Structure 1
Amino acid sequence: MASSTMLKYVAALDVGTTTVRCHIIDKNVRTIGAASEKVEIIYPKPGYVEIDPDRLWETIIRVMKDALQDANLEANQITCIGISTQRGSFTTWNRETGKHYHNFITWKDLRADQMVKDWNSSLTMKGLRSGAHFLYMISGSKRFLAGSVLKLMNTQTTLRLTWALHNVPGLKEAAMGGKAVFGGVDCWLLYKFTGKHVTDASSASATGLFDPFTMQWAGWAIKMFKLPRHMFPEVVDTAGNFGNVPKNLFGAEIPIRCSMADQAASLFGSTSFQPGDLKITLGTGTFVNVNTGTNPHASLTGLYPLVGWRLGAETIYVVEGASNDTGSLIEWAKSIGIINEPEETSDLAKSVKDSDGVYFIPAFSGLQAPINDHTAAAGFLAVKPTSSKAHLVRSILESIVFRILLIYESLQQETEFTYHRIRVDGGVSKNDFMMQLLADVTGLQVERAISSEMSILGVAFLAGLSFGVWNSREELLQLREVEKVFSPKRERQQDYQAIVELWQKAVERFKDWY
């Protein structure tokens, strides 16, 4: 009987920016035990956003133990584990002792902002873009098309790692001597569990230092920024044998069968297996992802080509557009007293027939693709004596949807897919007003699954598939449960056309502010 019991349960660990979650999932994709805990974020200076690796490790172990206890299971009853992690946050550590040189410098950190600006306007980068454009005109290669519009970003690892090498005492010397290594949260966690220095292709592609067109660490970037090559982890498949969680932690070894970046995991968790499948995660920020199949996407509007997953001979690519301010806007509205709880925003927005001509620009972190203006300001425009709290809330919610619409329109222009539906997940996807508006302005069906924990499901699915818990992706498609479908109302799409145009006019007023 023991072996049949062992085949039933998969653990899924998701180490996000704000929360660590662990779910124990059975063969029918039911969560039978779960635990979560907030991540302690450190702000040592303005613009610096860090996480203490030791504290994070303690949190992860505690959450995993709590999830096992909640499921009333022992570690030896867990078939395998899948791991999903935030992208772009990294630390460096000593290869021999395992001791880290500094805290995780997270993807939200802005300490390298001036370096990003200086490099983007430098003759070196201008020369790189011009050279890539010339090579694209000759060869027609998408890789050179992507290079012709290449811009460094704060969310990428590149210049924050460069900063660390120049500013963390002893790190550069240790790196040059082959003792220091670097890695994201996934890489560091796998090292802590197994002693291996590896990362999967999806996590590597999110660093900005990995070339998705050649599927290798980008030699040009390593040379240009003088980064020691042996600091970099080996890039491996997304699912397979990563080693085991050691026995001393939970009383039995647990095979690690999947490790991947959170947005790639949520794409797989939403069963977006086919080219052209579109998934949107609405959490702290919004991430719009399309499965582009076996071809990486080259974008002129700032959409980003990433690796979704690599499984042996199969490499699936993703194009991503992001808007960094979503749930953070609703939390801000709560913090200044416009709302009491996020749950009330949908009904508040529906309580008025429109926003009374008020427009909100959601740019606390600037405006990402396709606007690409990190100097944009956030704020309301056209507030009147008749504007109520409900009008302000509605304008905030509308602005989040309008940002998604801009990304979607870029996808329509740049890709050859015909889109029919949007699969949504994340905390903000529970807002019915926004989901109906998203359906109306895009003209697509919006499909909300019962589970909003898509990253958890994604790594559980891939780990379980590689260990025989599930036999095929078709079986997973059958197990997907939809909670609600929002169908577009054509007349609303026409009504909103003028509103969206005016909102875009308002955006122009807030651009290039700082």
Structure 2
Amino acid sequence: MYNMKYIGALHIGTTTVRFHILDQQGNTIASSAKKLQFLYPKPGYVEIDPDKLWDIVLKLMWDTFRQHGFCPKHIAGLGISTQRCSFTTWNATTGKHFHNFITWKDIRANNLVEEWNSSFQTRGWRIGSRLMYTFFRGDRHLLMSGFKFMNSQITLRLLWALQNVRELRDEVKEENALFGCIDSWLLFKFTGRNVTDVSNAAATGLFDPFLMDWSTLMMSILKIPRDMYPIVVDTSGDHFGVTHKSIFGVKIPICCSMTDQSASLFGSGCLNTGDLNITLGTDTILNVNSGSKVHASVSGMYPGIGWRIGGELVYMKEGAWKDTGSIVEWAKRLGLIDQPAETEDMADSVDDSRGMFFIPAFSGLPTPINDDRAAAGFIGIEPDTNKAHMIRAMLESIVYGIVMIFDVLNRETDHILNKIRVDGGMSANDFMLQLLADATGLRVERATTTQKMSILGVAFVAGLQCGVWNSKEDIYKLRKVEDTFLPNVRNRRRVRSSYVHWRRALDRFGRWYSDVTRE
């Protein structure tokens, strides 16, 4: 057994922590998983205790080693993928954190977000950037012309921490405070280094993807000292260091660190410009490999970085739909279903939703609507409406949200798209994937490993770094497609017509709440 090389892949997702050990064929030979523990100290606050997360990671990895009789010394390299923009700050000397992780779902800084977005200063940036773009046609100016702060990015949540956490303020004055996302915290605990890779840095809102460095503009505006920032490094390499020997009894090289979505894009085999991947998990994330060019969007498609490996810098563009798997979980809590798997058969049991539509706005409506005050609900209920109609309308709403982002992508880019690769727990739903194929006119591919694409991606990148695989072509061959869904041309007109009516319903639910916190 130990004549082979093995890769460890640690994934901290939105709701679950996973650790897998993979062999050279890309097969998982051992794994463990555990749910994250969230804290909700006040309305709008969503936190994770850093110490408890560290305990979960260590227990998970040790349980995997022990239960499967695997010695840590046989791990050739470790890769880490993490949820983005959940951050903490800590003492540079002692390593003690000043506060819990403030997660990307946290909206405690919403008042700051609204104040800054409506300020004369921010409006001035947008107007100035618009003028600069008119004369110089630069993508950087185009991107800044639609700039706005967002709750999901770190920027103003970090500013909130600097304003409200006294111990942090004191240590900042002494130049003894560090900040980092979950990736940086774990790397600091494993190795003592405060580093982050380009994909994690690019998601924060504090990084300039054109200059490939922390934004001096944001530093000066928000008054965030440069010495707090982690060092930005390539996605793979030996710059992450090795785990302290005291942790596992051996030093394990950390060969890769990247965001969960970058890892998913890589694991899905989206290695060429224009390749498209959609993760249907708790939320829906649409990612496109945009090659060597930063995507400048005025409709809300977010420019990110996929990876920087061996001198190759790959950008990606992203759109997100907040409520996906969470909708099905809500239906389960409500008693409409017993298990998520039932939704497929229920949706197929009726010909349509009888003109009823569902608006999935539990977390507001994201790009390209950008309405945090929207309400969720059904519209068009009739006396003979039953549970199957409601479930079908809910699943349709998820797909229609994706179609809305997809239409923006088609307007803003000249990529030739020929297929969609999907992963995530909800990608097991055949009804949704066929509807997605019919609505977009593209072939939809579901891989055999839908729930661990981020694991595969980070394992592949780490394995390339430490010699488990020699080339991207080697790992591309390891990807296996389970099912393919072809668009039904006869259904396309009916589906697009239904989508248009859903968009009308969307307008009815917009700007419902007077306060975004919905207290």
Displacement of 1:69: 2.7
Please name the residue that 1:505 is paired with: 504
What is the one-letter code of the residue matched to 2:364? G
Structure 1 residues 343-380: Cα deviation after superposition (integer angstroms, max 9, x where no partner): 10000000000001110011111111111111111110
Q: Distance in 1 between matches of 2:486 and 2:160?
A: 48
Residue identity over aligned pairs, in percent, reads: 53
Runs of 4+ deviating beyond 4 Å:
none
Could you say what secondary structure the match of 1:401 adopts? helix
What is the one-letter code of the residue matched to 2:139? K
Please name the residue that 1:39 is paired with: 36
TM-score, length basis structure 2: 0.97
Could you say what secondary structure the match of 1:433 adopts? helix
What is the one-letter code of the residue matched to 1:118? E
Is the contact made by 1:176 and 1:228 (CA closer than 8 Å) also made in structure 2? no
Q: Distance in 2 between matches of 1:508 and 1:78?
A: 53
2:66 corresponds to which of 64, 69, 94: 69
Unaligned runs of 5+ in 1: none
Could you say what secondary structure the match of 1:408 adopts? helix
Displacement of 1:96: 0.4
Could you say what secondary structure the match of 1:254 adopts? coil
Displacement of 1:72: 2.5
Displacement of 1:271: 1.0
Q: Distance in 2 between matches of 1:376 and 1:109?
A: 17
Q: Distance in 2 between matches of 1:385 and 1:468?
A: 63
Please name the residue that 1:495 is paired with: 494
Please name the residue that 1:250 is paired with: 248
Q: Distance in 1 between matches of 2:200 and 2:64?
A: 25
Please name the residue that 1:263 is paired with: 261
What is the one-letter code of the residue matched to 2:142? L
Please name the residue that 1:107 is paired with: 104
Please name the residue that 1:211 is paired with: 208
Displacement of 1:116: 0.6
Matches within 5 A, 1:353-368: 353-368=351-366
Is the contact made by 1:447 and 1:486 (CA closer than 8 Å) also made in structure 2? yes
Please name the residue that 2:427 is paired with: 429
Q: Distance in 2 between matches of 1:220 and 1:513?
A: 35
Matches within 5 A, 1:451-462: 451-452=449-450, 453-462=452-461
Answer yes or no: is 1:484 the counterpart of 2:483.
Answer: yes
Displacement of 1:311: 1.6
Is the contact made by 1:298 and 1:305 (CA closer than 8 Å) also made in structure 2? yes
Displacement of 1:339: 1.1
What is the one-letter code of the residue matched to 1:400? I
Q: Distance in 1 between matches of 2:44 and 2:370?
A: 20
Q: Higher mean Cα deviation, 71-80 or 178-187?
A: 71-80
What is the one-letter code of the residue matched to 2:74? Q
Please name the residue that 2:311 is paired with: 313
Answer yes or no: is 1:163 the counterpart of 2:155.
Answer: no
What is the one-letter code of the residue matched to 1:143? R
Q: Distance in 1 between matches of 2:337 and 2:81?
A: 32
Could you say what secondary structure the match of 1:244 adopts? coil
Please name the residue that 1:474 is paired with: 473
Note the aligned Cα RMSD (angstroms): 1.0
Displacement of 1:272: 0.4
Structure 1 residues 458-507: Cα deviation after superposition (integer angstroms, max 9, x where no partner): 11000000111001111111111111111110111111121111100000
Q: Higher mean Cα deviation, 443-452 or 67-76?
A: 67-76
Is the contact made by 1:88 and 1:207 (CA closer than 8 Å) also made in structure 2? yes
What is the one-letter code of the residue matched to 1:132? S
Unaligned runs of 5+ in 2: 514-519
Structure 1 residues 179-228: Cα deviation after superposition (integer angstroms, max 9, x where no partner): 00100000010000011110000000011111111111111111111111
Please name the residue that 2:403 is paired with: 405
Q: Higher mean Cα deviation, 496-505 or 84-93?
A: 496-505
Answer yes or no: is 1:152 the counterpart of 2:149.
Answer: yes
Q: Distance in 2 between matches of 1:49 and 1:177?
A: 29
Structure 1 residues 312-345: Cα deviation after superposition (integer angstroms, max 9, x where no partner): 3211000000011111111111111111111100
Answer yes or no: is 1:139 the counterpart of 2:128.
Answer: no
Answer yes or no: is 1:393 the counterpart of 2:404.
Answer: no
Q: Distance in 2 between matches of 1:415 and 1:28?
A: 36
What is the one-letter code of the residue matched to 1:436? Q
Q: Distance in 1 between matches of 2:114 and 2:10?
A: 36
Structure 1 residues 50-80: Cα deviation after superposition (integer angstroms, max 9, x where no partner): 0000000000001111222344210011111
Please name the residue that 1:59 is paired with: 56
Q: Distance in 1 between matches of 2:140 and 2:63?
A: 46
Please name the residue that 1:273 is paired with: 271
1:25 corresponds to which of 10, 22, 26: 22
What is the one-letter code of the residue matched to 2:506? V
> What count of residue pairs does the alignment treat as equivalent?
511
Matches within 5 A, 1:155-234: 155-234=152-231
TM-score, length basis structure 1: 0.98
Q: Distance in 1 between matches of 2:221 and 2:129?
A: 15
Structure 1 residues 73-118: Cα deviation after superposition (integer angstroms, max 9, x where no partner): 1001111110000101000000000000000000000100111111
Displacement of 1:23: 0.5
Please name the residue that 1:335 is paired with: 333
Could you say what secondary structure the match of 2:476 adopts? helix
Q: 1:76 to 1:400 in 2, by over 3 A?
A: same
Q: Distance in 2 between matches of 1:195 and 1:247?
A: 12
Could you say what secondary structure the match of 1:300 adopts? coil
Is the contact made by 1:361 and 1:506 (CA closer than 8 Å) also made in structure 2? yes
Q: Higher mean Cα deviation, 217-226 or 388-397?
A: 217-226
Displacement of 1:508: 0.6
Could you say what secondary structure the match of 1:479 adopts? coil
Is the contact made by 1:421 and 1:445 (CA closer than 8 Å) also made in structure 2? yes
Structure 1 residues 369-399: Cα deviation after superposition (integer angstroms, max 9, x where no partner): 1111111111100111111000000000000
What is the one-letter code of the residue matched to 1:456? I
Q: Distance in 2 between matches of 1:29 and 1:45?
A: 43
Q: Distance in 1 between matches of 2:48 and 2:7?
A: 28
